[in-house]
Amino acid sequence: MSKTFRPWNPEQTLLLPPSPVDWLPENHLVFFLLDLIVELDLGEIHVYYDQKDPRGEKAYDPQMMVVLLLYSYCVGLPS
């Protein structure tokens, strides 16, 4: 049984506003990062999680974590 991740959908709707995308201007850095993340090979990260015991808390999606890390580096928050 492979390890599964907590659900992550960057276009998930909320009560107000209807989508987090509505908060951001169309040329915001996060849109570039969301396009970039699908091009990156995160296979090594997934291999690590596939080897772990599937029990316990679900991990955050590696794509979300890499986008968060890259975004924080880009805006000057390295830690």
- Asked whether the predicted pLDDT for residue 66 surpasses 80, the reply is yes
Helix, strand, or coil (residue 5) = strand
Cβ–Cβ contacts within 10 Å for residue 8, how many?
Answer: 13
Mean pLDDT, to the nearest integer, of 34-42?
95
Query: Is 19 within 8 Å of 25 (Cβ atoms)?
Result: no
Report domain extents, the chain: 24-74
Cα separation of 17 and 10, whole Å? 14
Element (H, E) at 70: helix 62-74
CA-based nearest residue to 35, from 63, 6, 72: 63
Mean pLDDT, to the nearest integer, of 35-39?
96
